[in-house]
A and B are shown apart, each in its own frame.
Chain A
Amino acid sequence: MATETVAVTESTPPARRARAGAGLLTWLGVVPFFLFALAFLVAPASYLFIGSFQTLDGQFTLDNFRNLNQPIVVEAYKNSLQVSFATALGGTIFGFLLAYAVTLGRAGRVRSGLLTFSGVASNFAGVPLAFAFIATLGRIGLITTMLKAVGIDLYQQGFSLYSFAGLSLTYMYFQFPLMILIITPALEGLKREWREAAENLGASSGQYWRYIAFPVLLPSLLGTLILLFANAFGAFATAFALTGGTINLVTILIGSQMRGDVLRDPGLGYALAVGMVAIMAVSITAYTLLQRRSERWLKR
């Protein structure tokens, strides 16, 4: 047998030539994507990265990163981490319970309705979402006034939509549907035979969940928690529209460096953004690794 070569020559059989051509075409197909990624992902990220090491007149400096260590920045990171973690955890738990109810529980009839809602709601964010919440839970929102009519004054009792709690509640609106979308397939991947095999070997329902179902779901649960975390961490428009910048979050702080109302320092803005990109990158990497593990388990 002659050794195989892939070079296309005059003597190459037509089939092989066609295949090489098809290969080239496939690559041609993804060129727009790569151009797009280059222009709107790689270029801005590099720009950010370089900018974070430069003074206003282009000199190399580490001052931008040194400036991160000031109270307002530390507080912004703290707030962002808190909101993100709280809403990710809340969304994970609440979303999981709902997904459980429509897959393994008794609410199977509303499964497709819930999934459709989740698909829409998980993408509902920004100004429209903020207005929807202001219209319902704002100072003169629908629910606020209705509750007032029956003698419950939310704002008197310390609730405010424009506070940390209010912001978290608003974020929950897109957090738990995202959880439902991601965890439903994982729950459906739990095979009936696993439960039966476990019972057959003497396991109770609790033991089945403890030793098999929960460990099998754990990578998905952790992965989704991280994804929700990143999702909230990067949110800007919702928070800005809702609180007008009164809550100090990383994204809002970056925004104000760029647009330059209070503290105008683009270099600091770049450094803030690089810190945020780093947190996101770690999150997405962890998510991918966990997701890969759970796919391997749920495949067969």
Chain B
Amino acid sequence: MAFLEIDQLHKQFGDLPAVSGFDVDVEQGEFLSLLGPSGCGKTTALRMIAGFERPTSGTIHLNGRDITNQPPNRRHIGMVFQSYALFPNMTVADNVGFGLKLKGMTPADARRRAGELLELIQLPDKGGSYPYQLSGGQQQRVALARALAIEPQVLLLDEPLSALDAKIRVELRAEIRRIQQQLHITTLYVTHDQEEAMSLSDRVVVMNKGFIEQVGPPFEIYNYPRTAFVAHFVGQLNVMPVRVVDAAAGRVALGEQTIILEPPLAANGQAVTLAVRPEELELGAAEGHNNLRGLVESVNFLGSIVRVRVAVDGATLSADLFNERLLTLPKAGEAVTINFPAHAAWVLEEQG
């Protein structure tokens, strides 16, 4: 039995199913992200685990205990909110010590423990400050310390970084991962930022319209997306409408040009959608690769990468090239060849 077992969780708001068939097992110490577009049910799923929403059906087991209908104040699950939600009438130390005080810890012990946690979040001098005297990033660190103080069995974070500046966001992200690994605490992290989910998680749960699309490690989600939705939602994607010419040989046609894929394919003559990531494409022709001719549409210099958009028969493909000082950039309107290996492309299932 897994540490946190979520079985067939379902939540209905009136006629609207916000979460359907949510089924995930989380191991002790694992860092799991819930990733998906706005309104896909991430927060609702998290709030059911915290106990703020009652599931319409399904069960939640924590460490073998059924907590599905337990009130939130009995669950020993820590939560960090997007809006920090620090108690404005208490100092930082009192905020962090609040859960300990409720547990009956003596004020002296609570103060010492709060001090340790402020050390952990690298704000040892802020114990006497009030929340309104802190920056957003500092407030969120304190909120994290407050949730961790009661040594919860599971830590839940609902878009904790989305109210912060880009730079602070990246900093605090690393900080959250460091603390999570140091404490080895089971963590569920809600975000709609795929980069955040990828860089933090052991596994990512991709959600869409209340359903789970795919669960897996970041590498697998990115490179072997199981549905068209996942492929599109995570990372950049080139799609090409092609027709199967020879299924056994893996040969398809993109307009007048031929592409060889790894067989087997669907039946001959069928129209399918081919997908390939921009970083798999290279400029120029290459022996043994698929070589496509086209016209350069635009060249975008993005710093470490250069994105070249090439119009090929019936499709516009982006090629992401690594920047180097010796690179000669093609010009818009120029005729070029781009290539990619057979294994880089795959057939997308029909989007339902």
**Chain A residues at the B interface, C-beta cutoff of 8 Å:** 191, 193-194, 196-204, 207, 211-212, 215-216, 296-300
Contacts and interface: CB of A to CB of B under 8 A. Distances in A.
B207 to A, nearest CB: 22
B346 interface: no
B22 interface: no
Given A193-B81, A211-B98, A200 B87 contact: no
Contacts of A194: 85, 87
Interface in B288-340: none
A193 B98 contact: no
A191 B132 contact: no
B103 interface: yes
B4 to A, nearest CB: 16
A290 to B, nearest CB: 13
A193 B83 contact: yes
Given A200-B147, A201-B99, A202-B73, A215 B52 contact: no
A298 B88 CA distance: 8
A202 B85 contact: no
Contacts of A297: 88-89, 132
Interface string B135-165: 0000000010011011000000000000000
Contacts of A211: 87, 90, 98
A77 B73 CA distance: 51
A198 B98 CA distance: 8
B78 A200 contact: yes
Residue with the highest number of chain A CB atoms closer than 10 Å, among B74, B83, B89, B103: B89
Nearest to A196: B52
A196 B43 CA distance: 14
Given A196-B52, A197-B143, A300-B131, 5 more contacts: A200-B72, A200-B77, A200-B147, A203-B73, A203-B98
Given A196-B81, A297-B89, A204 B132 contact: no
Contacts of B146: 197, 201
A204 B146 CA distance: 17
B77 A201 contact: no
Contacts of B261: none
Contact of A202 (B52, B83, B150): B150
3 pairs of A and B residues whose beta carbons are closest in the complex: A201-B99, A193-B85, A297-B88
27 contacts: A193-B81, A194-B87, A196-B72, A196-B85, A197-B85, A197-B143, A197-B146, A198-B98, A199-B51, A199-B71, A200-B72, A200-B77, A200-B147, A201-B99, A201-B102, A201-B146, A202-B73, A202-B74, A203-B73, A203-B102, A211-B87, A211-B98, A212-B89, A216-B88, A297-B88, A298-B88, A299-B132
A198 B95 CA distance: 10
Contacts of B242: none
Contacts of B143: 197
Contacts of A193: 81, 83, 85
Nearest to A201: B99
